């Protein structure tokens, strides 16, 4: 068992001092942080290099791996750097060396590499034992005059060698090649710039030191990245140049090309700086798989030695501009470069703007020129001093030879030459010329210095010839001139600036290249909709749920009775059931058979040609399931109008409901419940309405009803879960097919009847030569028919009032017959009745059901769609106005098994080629099968 001693503990050794853990941690951390900041991560503002880059360039320069020498193995350079100057791993040295050889990383390459030095796809370079390298020509401008005492040197890590603390740097490398680094508590991120622009700005600043930032930006408009791309906006650039911090948006250069018929592709030729091309393509593929970006069919990389080319093939029904905008938003095709111009200035980290960086470089370069001039002045004076001694020796050659011959050894001869006094008459002017104070003239005599004596003893006999003596005099004159120039440089700031400008001009001539990055004006992110060209579209929906949009100008107006053209490609027995025209920037609400509502912009719908089948709605509208789209409502383009609008709903069973449009402003992408439906019921129409207007319902069985929208007749429902109230009482087997909202006109039964009689009389008078198509059509009395045959004629003023407010309805049967009728022919009744007759079917004319009833405007066109996919565009003015019970005239000539499925108005016919009217075609059923009425396709 160990015994515990009562003796006190021994005192601590005298060379140990107590230190608290907090102080030790603080001092150690600060030492580490400053080491990282100064010796690793941050570049020097003077030469724009970090220590590792500086050591690589200097070691290769010392080893003779210059641009005019053969390539050497990279491992040799790495070994020189690691063994002499950089006490770190070879991988970090090689990575830094590789980056200086990559054209996509450096604006001006400093290393000329041969072999695999990686790629813009992020491929790793080959091992250093396989690649070869040498200094690039641009590096000579960084290293020139380093042996002329232009910069300070410091001992290496083991004090066996000396290394430069900075390179002489004849051009602003920090701005031209930029820098990126992360230190302790700080980081730097400096973009690259165009060499010619930066040097031009430096030259301008030398000439006019009072220049403002705006003046400098006239020379340097912004960064210039080696990978090109487009910089969006100038505010970020100006902020970075003014304060040292700013954010610059860089966008890839992309063009939209047609690679083959009806197939376009996005071609990317330039990507933002420091973006990995392979990673970019993987990101795009991930977005396509996640369906976050739709419309991309294929992506492939066709880049080669001639340049970058990434092809993103677009689907036929997609809009390339929208896809490209989404790629800008979700991928690195558009990035933000955060500028942080932090560099070491005087050994201290400093955040600097453009002006500060250029000022620091000019001051440093002036100091280099001054130190070089002083160094060269010393060399020139030393040489002139020797030449003066040679002149003395040549002038007194016999005496010099005698002294040398008489001396037993060289040391004695040197001392004898120094002890002798020589005539100064010939050399005294030379001493003043070269500002030499080494020789002292006393009473016309001069003594030689030790250096001159050594030079005389080393003089070769051939220098004693007359020609050589002249060369000595000539060289002495040249040295004198050079000394004068150097003294001028040393003594004049203006002269140093002239030298700096000359050297910058030589560097510009060698480094100048065209700008690679474009700077474009930018107001902010563009939404997808702003890229869509405004225009009218025809939207077509088939029974099997395929939808597409086609530009309206594809269709041209024909006479009624024409054969039309194929407007929608179908598959199997699929038929077109719904079509309408809308602006590309309009919202469209889709109502499903299950009572759900979806909302989408027209431009987001797939675009396709007239013969294409389109895209399945189940792929466009999520969670549609097995439901069908039974009602589609284009909303007003001006959303301010939504506040005062209501929605009128109608179902096939005759139920109606009224809601505020604002109840449907926020519709989820997955849709939401719009109306509660009874089992077996479905929505057949939804229309915008206002208080006081009339709801008009028409059935397939040729019945219709019209009632006013009031709080008593059809109140506003607060929720979306109601099934509504009865709008019309249907007969067995009948169903509602059309919903329209008409303007309410206060007119008595007698006034309406009188107006119709007077209007018909006027039309007959205007068309006296026209054959009455409905002359043989029987008028069948209806139990609800309003008659006022005995009504008195209206006054001209009242007739004009009713004429201005008149609305006209177009009624088309499934057999292709149709007519227009005045809305005054349909009286306003109460809600929930059986309605009145809408059309009479004649045994001599095809058709047993009403296909559509809709209001139309004079001068407009309508589209008729058949179950065979044919469309015809007909001016409504060519369809005659008849009584409410008439069966109508031929609007579209059908094949035996063909039926009209839908009719919709065309509101804009601007630019269309209107065919001349042909009333004969209307009477005899139009063109024969297989013909087009005007001889050309619609």
Catalytic position from the list 58, 71, 85, 130: 130
Evaluate whether 427 touches 480 at the Cβ level (below 8 Å): no
Residue 921 β-bridge partners: none
Evaluate whether 845 touches 815 at the Cβ level (below 8 Å): yes
**Distance (Å, rounded) from C-alpha 693 to C-alpha 140?**
86
3-state DSSP helix/strand/coil % of the chain, to nearest 5: 35, 25, 45
Indicate the pairing of strand 655-660 with strand 725-726: antiparallel
**Distance (Å, rounded) from C-alpha 668 to C-alpha 646?**
20
Cβ neighbours around 129 below 10 Å, total: 10
Residue 250 β-bridge partners: 231, 335
User: Considering only CA atoms, which of 223, 274, 255 is closest in space to residue 519?
Assistant: 223
Phi, psi for residue 919 in degrees, rounded to 5: -70, -25
Task: Transcribe 175-194 into DSSP letters.
Answer: HHH-EEEE-SS-EEEE----
Residue 312 β-bridge partners: 266, 299
DSSP-derived letter for residue 684 is: E
Residues ≥6 apart with Cβ < 8 Å to 793:
754, 758
User: What is the dihedral angle through the alpha carbons of 842, 844, 850, 852, rounded to the nearest 10 degrees?
Assistant: -120
In our burial notation (b when 16+ CB lie closer than 10 A, e otherwise), range 362-396 reads bebbbebbbbbbbbbbeebbebbbbbbbbbbbbeb
**Distance (Å, rounded) from C-alpha 579 to C-alpha 854?**
13
In 720-806, alpha helices (H): 749-766, 796-805
Phi, psi for residue 534 in degrees, rounded to 5: -60, 145
Burial class (CB in 10 A: 0-12, 13-18, 19+), 639: exposed
**Distance (Å, rounded) from C-alpha 580 to C-alpha 852?**
13
**Distance (Å, rounded) from C-alpha 562 to C-alpha 515?**
60
**Distance (Å, rounded) from C-alpha 805 to C-alpha 663?**
31
Residues ≥6 apart with Cβ < 8 Å to 821:
808, 809, 811, 881, 882, 883, 884, 886
User: Considering only CA atoms, which of 123, 273, 271 is closest in space to residue 284?
Assistant: 271
Cα angle, residue 176 at apex, residues 173 and 181 outer, rounded to 5° = 75
**Distance (Å, rounded) from C-alpha 245 to C-alpha 189?**
9
Evaluate whether 92 touches 41 at the Cβ level (below 8 Å): no
Helix axes 796-805, 749-766, angle to 10 degrees: 90
SS3 category, 772? coil
Residue 344 β-bridge partners: 44, 349
**Distance (Å, rounded) from C-alpha 843 to C-alpha 766?**
30
Instruction: Quote the radius of gyration of the chain (alpha carbons, Å).
Output: 47
Evaluate whether 435 touches 470 at the Cβ level (below 8 Å): no
Cα angle, residue 91 at apex, residues 85 and 92 outer, rounded to 5° = 60
94 included as an active-site residue:
no
Cβ neighbours around 87 below 10 Å, total: 10
Active site members: 130
């Amino acid at each position: 068992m160990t015994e515990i001693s009562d003796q006190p503990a021994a005192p601590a050794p005298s060379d140990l001092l107590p230190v608290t853990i907090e102080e030790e941690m603080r001092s150690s951390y600060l030492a580490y942080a400053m080491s990282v900041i100064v010796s690793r991560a941050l570049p020097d503002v003077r030469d724009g290099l970090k220590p590792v880059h500086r050591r690589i360039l200097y070691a290769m320069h010392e080893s003779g791996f210059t641009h005019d020498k053969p390539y050497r193995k990279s491992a040799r350079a790495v070994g020189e750097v690691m063994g002499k100057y950089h006490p770190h791993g070879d991988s970090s040295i090689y990575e830094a060396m590789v980056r200086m050889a990559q054209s996509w990383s450096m604006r001006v390459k400093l290393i000329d590499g041969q072999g695999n030095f990686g790629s813009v796809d992020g491929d790793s370079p080959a091992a250093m034992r396989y690649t070869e390298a040498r200094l690039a020509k641009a590096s000579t401008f960084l290293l020139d005059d380093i042996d002329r005492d232009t910069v300070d040197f410091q001992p290496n890590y083991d004090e066996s060698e000396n290394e430069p603390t900075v390179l002489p740097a004849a051009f602003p490398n920090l701005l031209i090649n930029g820098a990126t680094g992360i230190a302790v508590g700080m980081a730097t991120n400096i973009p690259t710039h165009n060499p010619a622009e930066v040097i031009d700005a430096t030259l301008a600043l030398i000439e006019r030191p009072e220049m403002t930032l705006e003046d400098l930006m006239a020379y340097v408009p912004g960064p210039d990245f080696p990978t090109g791309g487009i910089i969006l906006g100038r505010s970020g650039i100006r902020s970075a140049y003014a304060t040292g911090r700013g954010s610059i948006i860089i966008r890839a250069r992309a063009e939209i090309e047609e690679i083959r018929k009806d197939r376009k592709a996005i071609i990317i030729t330039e990507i933002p700086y420091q973006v990995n091309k392979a990673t970019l393509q993987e990101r795009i593929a991930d977005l396509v798989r996640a369906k976050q970006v739709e419309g991309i069919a294929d992506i492939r990389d066709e880049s080669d030695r001639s340049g970058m080319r990434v092809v993103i093939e677009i689907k036929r029904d997609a809009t390339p501009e929208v896809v490209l905008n989404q790629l800008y938003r979700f991928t690195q095709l558009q990035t933000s470069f955060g500028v942080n111009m932090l560099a070491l200035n005087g050994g201290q980290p400093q955040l600097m703007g453009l002006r500060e960086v250029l000022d620091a470089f000019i001051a440093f370069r002036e100091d280099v020129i001054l130190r070089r001039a002083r160094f060269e002045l010393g060399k020139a004076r030393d040489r002139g001093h020797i030449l003066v001694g040679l002149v003395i020796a040549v002038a007194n050659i016999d005496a010099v030879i005698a002294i040398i011959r008489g001396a037993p050894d060289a040391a004695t001869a040197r001392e004898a030459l120094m002890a002798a006094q020589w005539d100064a008459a010939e050399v005294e002017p030379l001493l003043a010329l070269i500002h030499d104070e080494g020789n002292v003239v006393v009473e016309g005599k001069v003594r030689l210095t030790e250096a001159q004596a050594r030079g005389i003893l080393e003089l070769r006999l051939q220098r004693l010839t007359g020609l050589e003596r002249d060369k000595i005099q000539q060289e002495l004159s040249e040295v004198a001139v050079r000394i004068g120039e150097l003294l001028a440089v040393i003594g004049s700031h203006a002269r140093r600036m002239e030298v700096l400008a000359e050297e910058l001009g030589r560097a510009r001539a060698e480094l100048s290249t065209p700008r690679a990055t474009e700077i474009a004006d930018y107001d902010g992110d563009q939404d997808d909709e702003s890229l869509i060209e405004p225009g009218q579209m025809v939207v077509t929906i088939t029974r099997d749920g395929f939808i597409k949009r086609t530009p309206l100008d594809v269709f041209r107006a024909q006479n009624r009775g024409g054969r039309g053209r194929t407007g929608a490609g179908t598959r199997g027995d699929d038929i077109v059931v719904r079509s309408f025209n809308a602006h590309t920037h309009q919202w469209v609400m889709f109502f499903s058979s299950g009572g759900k509502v979806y909302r989408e912009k027209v431009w987001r719908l797939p675009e396709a040609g007239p013969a294409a089948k389109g895209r399945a709605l189940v792929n466009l509208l999520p969670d549609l399931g097995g439901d069908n789209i039974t009602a589609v409502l284009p909303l007003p383009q001006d959303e301010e109008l939504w506040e005062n609008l209501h929605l009128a709903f109608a179902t096939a069973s005759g139920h109606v409901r009224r809601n505020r449009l604002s109840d449907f402003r926020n519709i989820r992408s997955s849709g939401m419940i719009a109306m509660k439906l009874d089992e077996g019921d479905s929505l057949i129409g939804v229309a915008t309405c206002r208080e006081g207007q009339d709801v008009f319902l028409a059935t397939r069985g040729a019945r219709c009803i019209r009632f006013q929208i009031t709080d008593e007749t059809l109140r506003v429902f607060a929720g979306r879960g109601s099934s509504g109230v009865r709008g019309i009482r249907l007969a067995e087997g009948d169903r509602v097919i059309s919903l329209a909202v008409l303007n309410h006109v206060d007119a008595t039964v007698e006034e309406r009847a009188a107006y119709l009689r007077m209007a018909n009389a006027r039309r007959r008078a205007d068309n006296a030569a026209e054959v009455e198509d409905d002359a043989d059509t029987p008028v069948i009395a209806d139990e609800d028919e309003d008659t006022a045959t005995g009504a008195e004629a209206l006054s001209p003023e009242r007739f004009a009032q009713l004429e201005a407010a008149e609305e006209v309805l177009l009624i088309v049967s499934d057999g292709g017959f149709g007519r227009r009728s005045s809305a005054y022919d349909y009286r306003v009744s109460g809600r929930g009745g059986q309605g009145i007759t809408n059309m009479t079917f004649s045994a001599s004319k095809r058709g047993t059901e009403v296909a559509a009833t809709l209001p139309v405007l004079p001068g407009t066109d309508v589209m008729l769609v058949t179950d065979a996919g044919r469309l015809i565009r007909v001016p409504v003015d060519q369809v005659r106005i008849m009584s409410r019970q008439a069966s109508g005239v031929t609007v579209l000539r059908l094949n035996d098994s063909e039926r009209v499925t839908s009719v919709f108005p065309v509101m804009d016919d601007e630019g269309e080629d209107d065919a001349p009217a042909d009333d004969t075609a209307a009477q005899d059923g139009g063109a024969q099968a297989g013909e087009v009425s005007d001889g050309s396709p619609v």
